[in-house]
Amino acid sequence: MIIGRVTGRAVSSRKDEKLAGAKLLLIEELDPEGAPTGDLAVTIDHLGAGAGDVVLVTQGSAARFTAPTKDRPIDSLVVGIIDNIRLDGRETFSKSSGFARAGKRR
């Protein structure tokens, strides 16, 4: 699973019928310290994530293993809105204050 930030929404009026009603988010992948990796994903969300939220995204067939995504053509799904991240014993992210910009590890 990866960490990402919601940067926007994709709107698609003509899509697979099994995606009817699905909310499509644009998610910029982040490393655990908050630096963008350069990858962007179109991701389904049923948790109510909004712009700027830092989220946990599951990928591949795992994305179909929730009640609302079962048997749908989905390979990327928001499975959590992240409260905090701790790395090497220190908090690098919290929902209230964002990422601590402490530079690169090592």
Partner 1 sequence: MLLQRVIGLVVADPKAEELGGVRLAVVEPLGADLAARGKRQVAVDTVGAAEGQMVFTVAAGPARAASGMAGRPVALAVIGIVDELAGLDAPGTGKAGKAGKGDR
Residues that bind partner 1 (CB under 8 A): 1-3, 31-32, 37, 46-48, 55-56, 58-67, 69, 77-89, 92, 106
Minimum CB distance to partner 1 smaller for 14 or for 104 = 104
Minimum CB distance to partner 1 smaller for 11 or for 60 = 60
Residue 49, Cβ density class (10 Å: 0-12 exposed, 13-18 middle, ≥19 buried): buried
| Pairwise CA distance, residues 7 & 53, whole Å | 8
Nearest alpha-carbon partner for 40 in 65, 6, 89: 6
Minimum CB distance to partner 1 smaller for 40 or for 62 = 62
Per the CB < 8 A criterion, the answer to whether 92 and 100 are in contact is yes
Closest separation in Å from C-beta 50 to partner 1: 12
Strand partners, 33: none
Closest separation in Å from C-beta 13 to partner 1: 27
Closest separation in Å from C-beta 26 to partner 1: 19
